[in-house]
């Protein structure tokens, strides 16, 4: 099977083709990983992190590590209750993703028209 003309955005975790391919081959469908609370928090505070990062002098190659360090430091400054909420949110989102994963693996192949169309397109 050649995958040269497949859009990489269509081959992600949400692609029902992955579950079907796993059912046929029993390979390469790993369970979702739990995202860290810091990474979930930083998505909602991206502008603040970028503003702080722009104030610091750094080379362009170091921009990602600088933003990561700033995000972790800012997350540590949060009150304990708010950090606990983000930890709980991380656990809940992982539980939801795992439930979907288990439905994909153990359940029947989706018969929704949009999913069938995605099978055909991929």
User: Which pair of tokens denotes residue 112?
Assistant: 């929704």
What's the confidence (pLDDT) of residue 73? 94
* Structure tokens that stand for 93 in this block: 């989102």
Angle at 40 between CA 39 and CA 44, to 5 degrees: 110
d(Cα 26, Cα 108) in Å, to the nearest integer? 15
CA distance 111 to 122: 16
pTM of the prediction? 0.67
Q: pLDDT in tens for each of the 122 residues of the chain?
A: 455 555 655 556 566 666 666 666 666 677 889 999 999 999 999 999 999 988 887 788 888 899 999 999 999 999 999 999 999 999 999 999 999 888 877 877 777 787 777 666 55
């Amino acid at each position: 099977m050649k995958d040269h003309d497949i859009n990489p955005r269509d081959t992600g975790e949400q692609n029902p083709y992955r579950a079907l391919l796993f059912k046929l081959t029993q390979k390469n469908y790993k369970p979702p990983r739990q995202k860290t609370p810091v990474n979930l928090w930083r998505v909602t505070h991206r502008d603040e992190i970028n503003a702080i990062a722009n104030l610091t002098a750094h080379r362009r190659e170091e921009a990602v590590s600088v933003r990561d360090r700033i995000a972790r430091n800012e997350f540590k400054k949060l009150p304990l209750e708010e950090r606990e909420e983000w930890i709980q949110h991380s656990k809940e989102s992982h539980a939801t993703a795992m439930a979907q994963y288990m439905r994909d693996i153990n359940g029947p192949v989706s018969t929704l028209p949009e999913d069938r169309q995605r099978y055909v397109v991929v």
